Amino acid sequence: TSYGTVQSFTTSQLGAPTTLAATGTTSTGFTANWNAVTGASGYRLDVVSGGASDLIISEYLEGSSNNKYIEIFNGTGLTVDLSDYEVRLFANGAVEGSPTNTQDLSTLAAGPTTLASGACLVLKNSSAGLTLPAGVTAYSSTVANYNGDDALGIWKKSTSTYVDIFGVIGSDPGSAWTTNGITTLDRTLRRKPSVTGGVTTNEDSLSTLGTQWDQFIIDTASGLGSHSLDSPATFLSSFQNADAGSNTSLNVTGASPSTQYSYVVRATSANSTSASSAVRTVTTKGTSSIAVNGGTTSLTYSGAAQGPTFTVTGSTGAVTYSYTGTGGTTYGPSATAPTNVGSYTVTATVATDANFDGATSLAIAFTISAASLPTVTFTAPASLIYNRTAKTYQASVTGPSGLTLTYTGRNSTTYNSTTAPTNVGDYTVTATTSDGNYSGSQATNFSITAKGISGSFTASNKEYDGNANASVTGRSLVGVETGDTVTLEGGTATFSDANVGTGKTVTLTGATLTGAATGNYTLSSVSTTTANITAASLSSGDITLTPAGDGSYTASGPAGSTFAIGYAGRTANGIATSYSSATAPMVPGYYTVTATATGNYSGSKSTDYFVAGPILANDTGASTYDLRKPQDNSMFFIDKAVVLANDKRIDSSGNVQTTGLDIDAGSLSAVTGSISFSSPFIVYTPTSA
């Protein structure tokens, strides 16, 4: 029988892992990371929330003499490795970087190297002598050699930060800091259970003294060794001693948003489990929301890209959008907002930032409606007077494209066309657009006015007839557009007066326009013309010569006729009388009187007569003159002065007697006739030869 040699050995203790910063943090979890440990075959992870964020100074005792105690509390929910912490004393205003004393919490004489969750570590001045609660051990440390004007701090090595500061580093208040009646001299101060985190930034003044601490009388030690929080730490479900396998990271899920978590890792092997790593804290991100703002889903076209506005809570990350057309609108998906009229949906997404998750909105429906047609500038044609061409307006507008002009009649004008009107009338031109981004119309009124044209005419000459009426022989117009049918008709033509004349002005009144295009014209004027009125011809029978009894004659004829009377000598009975005048002769002789029509008439009439002188004849009285009738039995005259001077037949008043005269034909035989007196003549008018 042979026997082997029995050997025994002891495996070395696994080292604690070193945690790394968490990655992939979201509102519901994160990835816990750590470094690999030599010899480890697996790792275990604890994750807690609530409680304290790290170690805190939970009680401060500044008592009589050397009675100085500091209580450090682990409310993290995890066992911490004390080698990651040291306490620093800054006495009498010592500044950062030059602490008076320091204490590595894992090197206290006979002290622990870890601190369980909910446990306290009490440090004391080596000469302190107060009675502590049962079961409480205080460990001597030089950092407990302080007075009421000295500052203390817990330094975390792995993060090179303070996790709690009591007092003001670099400041000496004299004997104590005092706030709201709470003082650091000769008092026991106990942290309020509501405080879950230390003062991590050095204060300018100890303002937290009055808000985070309860005060007790000097040398009160009854509370040392225990502390509690209003909200103690709890393990995250499924992450108490969670198995990470051989991995050096583990995805932590089921976390709450905006919550601080702490985790530690332990290395394991077949026969060994390491101490917990230093506590690593991580705060989950908050949740974000992104929601459309009310009143921004019904938009009006503006020419610019647009869409609803959104309100983001939480993340300050970039917001991106995805726009898509709906219904009959074709668009996107696009990150650029639409410009044109249509129906759309938009989804907004805010990116995650350091403290918050991202978020995506619901798909929000919105519309862009057509804008009202902007101000249209209408430009009229050069002339709105009818000229047989279309009166086309020009229109311009800023923004829309594709203006269409429609012309319609108004008042009594009937018209409806996109072609501009030509004829006289009242119209409206209306601008609309085919641009779907605009709606509505704008219009302006205008009128095409009639073209003024002038007329002319000719009139015929006429013989005087006592009135001014004239006869039109022809009419014409000036200014009628080529192709239009317009004529001048009617009216009354009138001479300037009814009298005879040449080149007399004739006026046409009451003439009107006729023809198919009459409505497009107005008769602005009709020029005058000239014509002649010639004298009316009179026959001798139309003229009456009447002796006036004074050796002269008067003439008469139709109404309005005038005559020129002329007297001329003639030859009769062998006796020639020479005379020519418009004045009646007053000497004996043979004459012819002629009445010639003047003015508005022509023609003449003549008659012969005789002016006789005194003739001495046989008489019953030797001194009496007889008046002898001419042998041709014509009318004759004798100057009464001759009678008065030579004839004795006058009455007692000197008046010539017109009766009883012996008038004969030279043969002393009596003739028939009458004698009258017309100054200065005695007139004999025969009734027969």
The most distant pair of C-alpha atoms in the chain lies apart, rounded to whole Å, by 248
pLDDT of 371 higher than 50: yes
φ and ψ of 460, to 5 deg = -90, 155
Task: Name the E strands within 442-558.
Answer: 442-448, 451-459, 462-463, 469-470, 472-478, 487-489, 492-495, 501-509, 512-514, 521-526, 529-534, 536-537, 544-547, 553-556
Q: How many other CB atoms are found less than 10 A from the CB of residue 266?
A: 23
β-strands 589-598, 151-156 pairing: unpaired
β-strands 377-379, 101-104 pairing: unpaired
Residue 180: band (very low, low, confident or very high) from pLDDT cuts 50, 70, 90:
very high
- Whether residue 339 sits in one domain with residue 278: no
- Whether residue 436 sits in one domain with residue 302: no
Cβ atoms 375, 469 nearer than 8 A: no
Q: Which two tokens stand for residue 405?
A: 């002009």
- Whether residue 110 sits in one domain with residue 256: yes
pLDDT of 646 higher than 50: no
Which of residues 446 and 10 earns the better pLDDT score? Answer: 446
- Whether residue 467 sits in one domain with residue 433: no
Contacts 24+ apart (CB under 8 A), 420-428: 420/390, 420/391, 420/392, 420/393, 421/390, 421/391, 421/448, 422/386, 422/388, 422/389, 422/390, 422/391, 422/448, 423/386, 423/448, 423/519, 423/520, 424/386, 424/448, 424/449, 424/450, 424/519, 424/520
pLDDT tens digits, 236-289: 999 999 999 999 999 999 999 999 999 999 999 999 999 999 889 999 999 999
So what's the pLDDT on residue 612? 63
- Among 528, 561, 587, the domain boundary falls at 528
- Whether residue 211 sits in one domain with residue 126: yes
Cβ atoms 43, 269 nearer than 8 A: no
Residue 257 lies in a domain: yes
So what's the pLDDT on residue 613? 53
Instruction: Name every residue whose Cβ is closer than 8 Å to that of residue 167 and which is 6 or more positions away in sequence.
Output: 90, 149, 150, 151, 152, 177, 184, 206
pLDDT tens digits, 115-129: 999 999 999 999 999
Q: Which two tokens stand for residue 627?
A: 């008046």
Amino acid at 175: S
Residue 2 lies in a domain: no
- Among 323, 350, 369, the domain boundary falls at 369
Q: Which domain holds residue 674?
A: 627-686
Helix (H) or strand (E) holding 212: helix 209-212
Residue 598 lies in a domain: yes
- Whether residue 197 sits in one domain with residue 109: yes
φ and ψ of 144, to 5 deg = -90, 15
- Whether residue 65 sits in one domain with residue 200: yes
- Among 302, 335, 369, the domain boundary falls at 369
Q: Which two tokens stand for residue 677?
A: 């007196």
Residue 52 lies in a domain: yes
Q: Which two tokens stand for residue 317?
A: 């990350």
Q: How far apart are CA 453 and CA 455, in angstroms?
A: 7
So what's the pLDDT on residue 190? 99
Q: How far apart are CA 524 and CA 321, in angstroms?
A: 72
- Whether residue 166 sits in one domain with residue 47: yes
Q: How far apart are CA 276 and CA 262, in angstroms?
A: 12
Q: How far apart are CA 679 and CA 550, in angstroms?
A: 6
Cβ atoms 633, 689 nearer than 8 A: yes
pLDDT of 137 higher than 50: yes
- Whether residue 480 sits in one domain with residue 405: no
Residue 124 lies in a domain: yes
In the numeric block, the tokens 């000469």 are attached to 127
CATH of the domain at 219: 2.60.40.1260
Q: How far apart are CA 489 and CA 542, in angstroms?
A: 40
Cβ atoms 24, 34 nearer than 8 A: no
Mean pLDDT score, 150-174 = 97
Q: How far apart are CA 101 and CA 104, in angstroms?
A: 10
Q: Which two tokens stand for residue 26?
A: 């979201």
pLDDT of 491 higher than 80: yes
Helix, strand, coil share of the chain (percent; to 5): 5, 45, 55
Q: How far apart are CA 623 and CA 648, in angstroms?
A: 8
| pTM of the full structure | 0.58
Residue 415 lies in a domain: yes
Q: Closest Cα to residue 145, out of 69, 209, 215?
A: 69
So what's the pLDDT on residue 573? 77
Amino acid at 65: S
Residue 620: band (very low, low, confident or very high) from pLDDT cuts 50, 70, 90:
very low
Cβ atoms 476, 488 nearer than 8 A: yes
Residue 113 lies in a domain: yes
Residue 610: band (very low, low, confident or very high) from pLDDT cuts 50, 70, 90:
confident
Q: How far apart are CA 604 and CA 592, in angstroms?
A: 13
- Whether residue 244 sits in one domain with residue 218: yes
Instruction: Name every residue whose Cβ is closer than 8 Å to that of residue 508 and which is 6 or more positions away in sequence.
Output: 455, 457, 472, 491, 492, 493, 494, 526, 528, 529
Residue 123 lies in a domain: yes
So what's the pLDDT on residue 302? 94
Average pLDDT, the chain: 89
φ and ψ of 133, to 5 deg = -60, 155
Amino acid at 676: S
Cβ atoms 455, 477 nearer than 8 A: yes
So what's the pLDDT on residue 574? 81
So what's the pLDDT on residue 663? 42
Cβ atoms 562, 598 nearer than 8 A: yes
- Whether residue 227 sits in one domain with residue 112: yes
β-strands 521-526, 451-459 pairing: parallel
Domain count, the chain: 6
- Whether residue 139 sits in one domain with residue 278: yes
